[in-house]
Amino acid sequence: MEEKRWRTRDVYTSLSGSRLRLHLNNTNHSLIHLTLQWDDECPFAIRFQNISPSRRPAAMKTNWQGWLMRRSWLELGSLELFLSFTITERSMARLLWVGIAIGLVFISNCVYGFGGYEHYFNETQLSYLEPHEASLSSSVATNPLFVGLTLIQNAHAKGAVCLDGTLPGYHLHRGYGSGANSWLVNLEGGGWCNNIRTCVYRKKTRRGSSAFMEKEIPFIGILSNNAEENPDFYNWNRVKLRYCDGASFTGDSEDQTAQLQFRGQRIWAAAMEDLMSKGMRFANQALLSGCSAGGLATIIHCDEFRDLFPRTTKVKCLSDAGLFLDSIDVSGAHTLRNLYSGVVGLQGAQRNLPQICTDHLDPISCFFPQNLIASVRTPLFIVNAAYDSWQIQSSLAPPSADPHGYWHDCRLNHAKCTKSQIQFLQGFRNHMLNAIKGFSRSNRNGLFINSCFAHCQTERQDTWFADNSPVIGNKAIALAVGDWYFDRASIKAIDCPYPCDNTCHHLTFR
């Protein structure tokens, strides 16, 4: 059989949107297209065209995100090395590796950003901690329960739609026994979009469209149905409300030109109405919780949630990793304030922020929890890492504020921080403790501030409740939250400064 060869000088690439196309010309100038595609989680598909069916390898799909988290060093030099191979029809695997090499270069940029303010704050950047944490949790949870997605069918009539106009949804697992009339509603997190470009990107992902949402998800951590993993809430009605608006369930506007619907507030209202019709109105106990952007949403909507129920219903709120601070970054700028300015202005969130705040502060300031928590009427518990991994990477020391890369290693791994960098991070912890002073004076509120480099600890099984979970005063997060909710004890747990806590599950990225 004749062997056809392609030379590396005949290889060129083109990039368009989220598609990379590799073109290879053989000596007869026939063309093979190798197309790689990826989405917000950076899986990619490799497909071959113009290859005879007998020689076409099966289309391959894989998810390299976890691999890339640990190999951010991949550069174009790797691409050149792979292209030095001779590619033949007898050895299509070599062609496959050419595509993978190129794909990894561009997908690495998908995870870490192609550069520029907008790309850094896109949905992938803001939520890439979540898949990493989910992988950690799955190794601890025992046979996690998978719960299907329910779309809110009457939401469209209320204008309560995701960024792309699709129906919002939630996952509900019914309670039983002593928890049959108790409800836990968990608000999903996943960053924000602050301009047309990032919102258009987001609407093509599960964070902006129910068309891309998982049909079922594992219920772990505070959502687990296993009493050994979730001792106080395992048999409650447990709900995960999916996040597809990009403004922590607060926006109410649209951009017709870009075909974007900013309807987070309407999604919140439609979801609550639907859940009330499915039995939540009969609850004798209820807890609203959320992580990250969902933790911020929990603080914003806490009193609204309380007002859904009669005064005889026990209602409290839990915010995990939602204490985003209006901090100065390493360049002296306010990176997160700039982001929030875009979110609030673009999505019309100012109309739905607590009036007790907007009566005396500007709307952007009222998107920061530090200006909200002291005025929340409903009992509120805050779980937060004093050295929140997301805030370090995306607010305090983002690449946009660190053009020379001085913070690069420290940002990804606290063990590589210099003495002066640790001192800067201790200042961030002090800022957090000052922000919660007024809040902590109320007997109805609770705190668990541990000195860990972490993010979203109630939704990970290993940090929520496991044999080696993080503790303060020998009490794990799940037990602290349970004691506070059921009034078994007053919980105001604040850890000593890093590095005193050896129970932390630090997040590191290589």
Question: Which residues are annotated as catalytic?
Answer: 292, 388, 455
How does 80-94 read in b/e, with b if 16+ C-beta sit within 10 Å? eebbeeebebeebee
Counting every residue written for the chain, the total comes to 510
Strand order in the sheet with 5-16: 60-63, 43-49, 31-38, 19-26, 5-16, 87-88
CA-derived radius of gyration, the chain:
24
Closest by CA to 391, choosing from 437, 442, 334, 438, is 334
Alpha-carbon distance of 1 to 115, in angstroms, equals 48
SS3 assignment, position 65: helix
Alpha-carbon distance of 428 to 392, in angstroms, equals 9
Cβ neighbours of residue 479 closer than 8 Å, sequence gap 6 or more: 231, 465
- Per the listing, tokens 């007898």 go with 90
Q: Phi first, then psi: what are they for 115, rounded to 5°? A: 105, 155
Alpha-carbon distance of 475 to 458, in angstroms, equals 14
- Residue 210 to residues 5, 170, 228, 245, 509, Cα–Cα distance (Å): 45, 10, 32, 11, 30
DSSP state at residue 375: G
Alpha-carbon distance of 44 to 100, in angstroms, equals 9
- Residue 85 to residues 21, 65, 80, 142, 383, Cα–Cα distance (Å): 19, 25, 9, 45, 52
Burial class from Cβ neighbours inside 10 Å (0-12, 13-18, 19+) for residue 289 reads buried
Closest by CA to 254, choosing from 242, 265, 243, 269, is 265
Alpha-carbon distance of 246 to 339, in angstroms, equals 12
DSSP state at residue 397: S
Q: Is the peptide bond before 43 cis (omega within 30 degrees of 0)?
A: no
Q: How many CB atoms lie within 10 A of CB 20?
A: 22
